[in-house]
Amino acid sequence: MKSRRISLIVNGVRHEVDTLPLRRLLDVLREDLGLTGTKEGCGEGECGACSVLINDELVNSCLVPVLQAEGSRISTIESLASEGTLHPVQQAFAEAGGAQCGICTPGMIMATMALLSTNQQPSREEIREGLEGNLCRCTGYIRIFEAVEKASGQHR
Amino acid sequence: MRSYTGEYELVIAHDVPAALELLACGEEWRPIAGGTDLMVLFNAGKLSYRNLVSIRRIAELRAIESDESSVLIGAAATYTQIRASEILQGEFPLLVKAASWTGGIANQNRGTLGGNIANASPAADSAPPLLVYDAEIELQSQLGVRSIPYRDFHSSYKRMMMQPDELISRIRLPRRRWTREYSRKVGARKAQAIAKVCVAAAATLEDGRMHDVRIAFGSVAPIPLRCLRTEECLRGQALGRETIDIAKETLRSEIQPISDIRSTSDYRLQVAQNLLQEFLLGLE
């Protein structure tokens, strides 16, 4: 099959990439655009490490053929900090100890962004549900949930 | 091992006729919607279909509509859409609950009801509610439209009563009221887990007797199973210890769960009977 030119709007910037249509969005972000903040964990939609937003909706980028994202607005973890200043959600994760090894963190933060965009004061149960598709094996979920509460101004 | 991406073709269909034309052209095209099953196979080097047509942007396949007698769900409607639909929340709560149990939020944003049906897993979360609600599957091809009751749709493990040139276009749910509806999923974890056993059931009661009852289980047979013999032994019966015991024995003979990585046959048999009992006790 032939490559084709696919137009993507990533973190507010339009990119034209020449690629195969079934290629994973995850690989295009990391390999073609150099946005390596988005991680690969399981590669089967179970762990959420590759979470990004497409048109403000949380998705696993390892399961999205790049052609299906054509013309969509894609947001990755790199869109959050600006000029060396962390986004408040990132700051909250740092302060609450919501990141240890860091592999799950970009996905956790993008899931938090999706949650807070529709629910600015989520309960603990709503946080658990919003982040249920993101697995962590070292930080521990409690500090991650506390980070989300901190980010939403519900400091405990 | 990863698949070789260069061996695969993917095109976007913008309307149903464009998708049907590819499915009919004899080159083994298959539809793809959210990719939450097919891309897993692709990433694992196990996706046998080489030519994929994306149907997820076709507006008429995304719609959830209703008329006097039914609610019609477009096959490419996502779990997120199903969870958010007021009419489904009000009249088909078991389907909305199943959508909330499927994967996590990211999978629910991409995964579709039609995809869940076509993936044909006996453990599919949406299957027991669709069986209880007597769903009809609408299939379209270039030859026209036909409908098939969902209870007849899965013929054996991963086999379906549809042709390669056909597309699941809509799922029709007849509107009706039940006295009580019940569902439960038993799995290793609430999110991102495939069911060890899942159940949906509904009943109407008249004068303390079960006037109508429907029971469906997932993960207990090669296909999602409507338990017609168990239903039959309950119909017209008053609730009580004896009725429940007979129903549990009938269920035991009606299901054939296997042992696999998620659970054992014995555990599934016991849990399925316990779930049936929980449903029946809740009717009293």
SS3 call for B56: coil
Q: Rounded CA gap, B59 and B154, in Å? A: 27
Q: Which helix (H) or strand (E) holds B114?
A: helix B113-119
- For every residue of B218-262, DSSP letters joined together read ESSSSS-EE-HHHHHHHTTPBPSHHHHHHHHHHHHHH------SS
Per the CB < 8 Å rule, is B39 touching A114? no
User: pLDDT tens digit string along B242-254?
Assistant: 999 999 999 999 9
Indicate yes or no: CB of B104 within 8 angstroms of CB of A22. no
Cβ within 8 Å, pair A67-B190: no
Whole-structure pTM value: 0.96
Model confidence at B265: pLDDT above 60:
yes
Q: Does the beta carbon of A62 lie under 8 angstroms from any beta carbon of chain B?
A: yes
The reply to whether residue A67 touches residue B10, judged by beta carbons under 8 angstroms, is yes
Are A48 and B104 in contact by the 8 Å Cβ rule? The answer is yes
- Which residues sit opposite B149 in a β-bridge? B136
Binary contact (B56, A68; C-beta < 8 A):
yes
Place of tokens 């049936």: B276
CA B104-B62-A12 angle, 5° bins: 65
pLDDT of res. B26: 83
- Asked whether the predicted pLDDT for residue A156 surpasses 60, the reply is no
Nearest to A46 among B10, B80, B192 (CB): B192
Cross-chain residue pair B80–A46, CB shorter than 8 Å: no
Q: A56 to chain B: nearest residue by CA?
A: B109
C-alpha closest to that of B177 among B207, B135, B212: B212
* pLDDT value for B191: 82
Q: What is the pLDDT of residue B284?
A: 81
What is the model's pLDDT at position A22? 97
pLDDT band, residue A154 (cuts 50/70/90): confident
- Name the percent of chain B lying above pLDDT 90: 94
User: Where does the pLDDT of residue A57 fall: very low under 50, low under 70, confident under 90, or very high at 90 and above?
Assistant: very high
Structure-token match 């069911």, residue found: B195
- Average pLDDT, stretch B78-100? 98
Q: Which residue of B has its CA nearest to A128?
A: B191
For the stretch B146-174, pLDDT in tens is 999 999 999 999 999 999 999 999 999 99
The strands making up A57-60's β-sheet, listed across from edge to edge, are A13-19, A4-10, A73-75, A51-54, A57-60
Residue of B nearest to A50 (CA): B106
Residue B27 has pLDDT above 90, yes or no: no
A65 closest CB neighbour out of B39, B107, B190: B39
Which residue of chain A is at minimal alpha-carbon distance from B13? A68
Chain B nearest C-alpha distance from A31 (Å): 15
